[in-house]
Amino acid sequence: MGVLEGLQKSVGYHFREQSLLSQALTHRSAGAQHNERLEFLGDAALNFVVAAKLYARFPKVSEGDLSRMRARLVREETLADIAGKIALADFLILGSGEIRSGGARRDSIRADALEAVIGAAFLDGGFSAAEGIVAQLVEPLMTDHLSDEELRDPKTRLQEFLQGQGRPLPIYALVAEKGQAHERRFVARCNVPGAEATEAEDGSRRKAEQQAAALMLAQLQVAARE
């Protein structure tokens, strides 16, 4: 049995071209033949398949809620959880620096590798191969239940809270960019007059702003209860 056989059973697809799967598992820290281009392809395939399946499964759900349901399924945290369930980290090929820093445990690396596997399957077996992996790993998580947080993102909820109190709207600012080009990190600040500014860091500027807004909202809600 090949070293990658267990992983292929877990994802529900056997690669004809094993080198594609190996590349999908290779972080850029390990060499030139890494998985970033496959990740790009897999991200697109994942989003399309999830959107199509949600559209078919929930015919009465609005476009906005379908978008939120898809976002929940394709976000980094969900993909990293799925990667954890199939022990994807055991198969990752990392450079020595990433190994020493525990890169296999990082959500971003595991999520990116899972998307790369989907992209590799698309190249190896066509759309049906990528669709099969999504059906195996992601479709069981599909539900039309949305929490209040998912129905309204943190920036929207913060704005509504401030409007309800007759206070000025928040101002967001990018205060720092960190890391190399391939691992850029953004630090965003949320300012509300009369409150202590909050900051959050993420690989996406938009997500950093959302997290800063969530911190600000929590701070204001605590103050309102006191």
CA distance 189 to 9: 44
Q: What is the pLDDT of residues 26-65, one digit of tens each?
A: 998 888 889 999 999 999 999 999 999 999 999 988 887 8
C-alpha span between 44 and 138 (Å, rounded): 15
Q: What is the DSSP string of 18-30?
A: HHHHHHHTB-GGG
Domain formed by 152-225, architecture: 2-Layer Sandwich (3.30)
Give me the active site residues, please: 43, 115
CATH 1.10.1520.10 assigned to domain 5-145? The reply is yes
Annotated binding site: 39, 112, 115
What is the reported pLDDT for 1? 42
What does the CA dihedral 94, 99, 105, 111 come to, rounded to 10 degrees? -20
63 φψ region: left (φ > 0), alpha (ψ -120 to 50), beta (else): alpha
- Give the residue ranges of the annotated binding site for Mg(2+): 39, 112, 115
**What tens digit of pLDDT does each residue of 89-147 get?**
999 988 888 888 877 788 889 999 999 999 999 999 999 999 999 999 999 998 877 66
Residue spans per domain, the chain: 5-145, 152-225
